[in-house]
Amino acid sequence: MAASRIDILIDRLRSSVERSSLILEAAERQAYSCDGLTSHRAVPKLVIVPASREELIASVRAVIDVDLPWVARGAGTGLSGGALPDEEGVLVVTSRLKAILEVDPISRIAVVEPGVVNLELSKAVLPHGLYFAPDPSSQIACSIGGNVAENSGGAHCFKYGFTTHHVLALELLLPTGELLWLGSEGMDGPGPDLRGVVIGSEGTLGIVTRVVCRLLPLPEARRTFLAYFDSVAAAAEAVSDVVSRGITPAAIEMMDHLAIAACEIATGAGLDTTAQSCLLLELDGEADEVAQEFLSVRALMDLHGSSHVWEAANEEERALMWLARKAAFAAAGRVAPAYIVQDGVVPRSALPRVLEGIGRLGVESGLSILNVFHAGDGNLHPLVTYDPSIEGQEALAEEVAAKILTLCLEEGGSLTGEHGIGVDKVCHMPEMFTADDLTTFERLRGAFDPSGMCNRGKLLPTPRLCGERPGRYQPHPLEEAGLGERW
């Protein structure tokens, strides 16, 4: 049945969209089979890459008309499988919708298409002394539509907030085919904040077709430095102390000994690999205030026994520090052939306890766990490394990763701080939410998507999904040779 609907759809689309907007070849569709969560793959029946907003709207409506399931995709950098295609349906990719439609430097807003790459917007508004604050580490590639869907944050979100604080309005094509604007071009729109409901909804409530972004002025001054400690607990306490003194650094990142060592090998940035932990702190804002805060923070680092501090003397050194911090994921590959990254969140005061717990899990399992994370907001990114060629180690790593999430939830935290639920954590949802919470989410979703065809199987657990556990993807030799696919 589905096959014939697809044929009808393709037939209709051929007359309404550019030829180049349709990807029909199996081998080409294969390229879209996963997002950043490469352990889950599915090949969609059809990929549409609309050339314009009008094409996007027309083609999604055509998909809705033939009643096929569909999934939106931006740049495909998501880490929870949010853009994993539906094998019975259509993948709609926004990567060609890259126009910055308008910049209003006085009102400090920009109107953009959803496929605009995060960093490109900041570059475009730089001449006005402005930037788009959400800065996920993937910002050279990820799209603003994807940021909206995931409510993305970045290293600087402790001070500046998440995408939801920087997107004022959005135009949404509902799963019913209807189009509407949510939010307003001011800071606080009228009535219930449906804009805020859509932000972070992981592509389950429709596809975002235009976005009004709030822009911030570039900070006048910035100071970045690394402080080393003899223990993880001391660094964690230093973080709490800084924050409780009323100082809000733009970023407070933390690495443990294993992460420092791995990042140093990967980048040669000059990190002190003898330290047990380090904090990367960045203060920004008005010059006077930053100077004052720097003195206070330096004193607090000393107070908490920081062995030494390396302050970036210039922009190159600052870039080097960030490079080292952001190399953690790649560096994990040097510790072991594979790793699982978690994204749990805990209240800041629980950091020392939870880190200790993670350390214990590492010792008990014999797996190396690198800790590198956004300490200001308690968002952990433990990298549980393992060797898939050793029998049972992958399952062990998954078990350890799951236990880390349990630790986070026991402290009143969250399953995910920025990567989203997607398919990856969908079966963990009942650990964080009650049955009533989940039914309420379902009722809300149903109001947007009564037929349940938009990114189905994501975000909310279903018995069909969570009865079974997906294994790590093993491409079949036929698939590797491009000769066959899993349907």
Partner 1 sequence: MVAGVLAPASVDELGGQLRDLDAHHRMMIRGLGSTLPSDDDRIVVDTMALNRFVHRVDDFSVTVGAGVLWSALQEQLARVGQRVAVDPPGVGTVGAMVATGARGGLIHRYGGVRDQIIGMTIVLADGTVAHSGSTVIKNVAGYDLAKLFAGSRGRFGIIAEVIFRTRPLPETQRTLLVPARPDRVRALVHEILGAHVELSALDLVDDTLSCLVEGGHEVIDRRLDRLMRALPDTATERLDEPQSLAYWSRLRDLQFPVEGGLVFSLSARSTVTLDLLPMMRSTLGSSLAALVAHVGAGVVEVSVAPGGQAHRLLELREMLSCAAGEIRARHPLCSFDFEIPSSALVTHPPSAEARAGSTITVRLLADRIGMALDPNGRFR
Ligand X SMILES: Cc1cc2nc3c(=O)[nH]c(=O)nc-3n(C[C@H](O)[C@H](O)[C@H](O)COP(=O)(O)OP(=O)(O)OC[C@H]3O[C@@H](n4cnc5c(N)ncnc54)[C@H](O)[C@@H]3O)c2cc1C
Q: Which does 448 bind (CB under 5 to 8 A by kind): partner 1, ligand X, none?
A: partner 1
Q: Is 180 in the site for partner 1 (CB under 8 A)?
A: yes
Closer residue to partner 1, CB minimum distance, 262 or 421: 421
In angstroms, the CA 72 to CA 90 distance is 9
Cβ of residue 371: shortest distance to ligand X, in angstroms?
16
Position 79 contacts ligand X (CB under 6 A): yes
Q: Which residues pair with 216 in a beta bridge?
A: 131
Answer whether 179's CB lies under 8 Å from 209's CB. yes
Within its chain, how far is the Cα of 189 from the centroid? Answer: 26
Which residues, 421 to 480, sit near ligand X by CB under 6 A?
Answer: 455
Are 163 and 202 contacting, i.e. CB atoms less than 8 angstroms apart?
no
Q: Does 150 bind partner 1 (CB under 8 A)?
A: yes
Map the footprint of ligand X across residues 133-162, applying CB under 6 A. Answer: 136-138, 142-143, 145-147, 149-150, 152-154
| Sites for ligand X among residues 343-362 (CB under 6 A) | none
Please give the torsion angle defined by the CA atoms of residues 52, 58, 62 and 68, in that order, rounded to the nearest 10 degrees.
50
For residue 48 the two structure tokens come to: 């549409």
Question: If you ran DSSP here, which 8-state letter would residue 143 be given?
Answer: B
- Would you say 284 and 250 are in contact if contact means Cβ atoms under 8 Å apart? yes
Residue closer to ligand X (CB basis): 237 or 343: 343
Contact status: 185 vs partner 1 (CB under 8 A): yes
The answer to whether 96 and 49 have CB atoms below 8 angstroms apart is: yes
Selected from 151, 267, 306, 371, the binder of partner 1 by CB under 8 A is: 151
Q: Does 346 sit near partner 1 (CB under 8 A)?
A: yes
Site residues (CB under 8 A) for partner 1, limited to 457-486: 459
Out of 127, 192, 392, 463, name the contact with partner 1 by CB under 8 A.
Answer: 192
Between the two ends of the chain, the Cα-to-Cα distance in Å is 14
CA contacts within 13 A on the Cβ side of 479 = 14
Closest CA to 129 of 241, 255, 220: 220
The interface region with partner 1, picked from 41-49, 70-78, 332-340, 439-447 by CB under 8 A, is 439-447
Question: Please, which of residues 100-119 interact with ligand X by CB under 6 A?
Answer: 114
Verify binding: residue 429, partner 1, rule CB under 8 A. yes
- In whole angstroms, what is the distance from residue 369 CA to residue 391 CA? 19
Binding mask 403-432 for ligand X (x = CB under 6 A): ---------------xx-------------
Asked whether the beta carbons of 195 and 170 are under 8 A apart, the reply is yes
Q: Is 298 left (phi over 0), alpha (psi -120 to 50) or beta?
A: alpha
In the complex with partner 1, which residue's Cβ is closer, 186 or 471?
Answer: 186
Q: How many CB atoms lie within 10 A of CB 407?
A: 23
Q: Quick check: 154 binds partner 1 (CB under 8 A)?
A: no
The distance of closest approach from Cβ of residue 257 to partner 1 in the complex, given in angstroms and rounded to an integer, is 24
337 vs 347, 386, 388, 393, CA distance in Å?
32, 7, 7, 12
Which of the listed partners (ligand X, partner 1, none) does 440 bind, with a CB threshold of 5 to 8 Å by partner kind?
A: partner 1
C-beta of residue 401 within 8 angstroms of C-beta of residue 424: no
Among 64, 125, 207, 259, binds ligand X (CB under 6 A): 207
Number of neighbouring beta carbons within 10 Å of residue 216: 15
Residue 223 makes contact with partner 1 by CB under 8 A: no
Q: Between 323 and 444, name the residue whose CB sits nearer to partner 1.
A: 444
Which position has the token pair 């799951």? 402
Residue 82 interacts with partner 1 (CB under 8 A): yes or no: no
Applying CB under 8 A, does 288 fall inside the site for partner 1?
A: yes
Enumerate residues 289-308 that contact partner 1 by CB under 8 A: 289, 292
Which residues sit at the interface with ligand X, rule CB under 6 A? 35-36, 71-79, 82-83, 94, 114, 136-138, 142-143, 145-147, 149-150, 152-154, 202-203, 207-208, 329, 418-419, 455
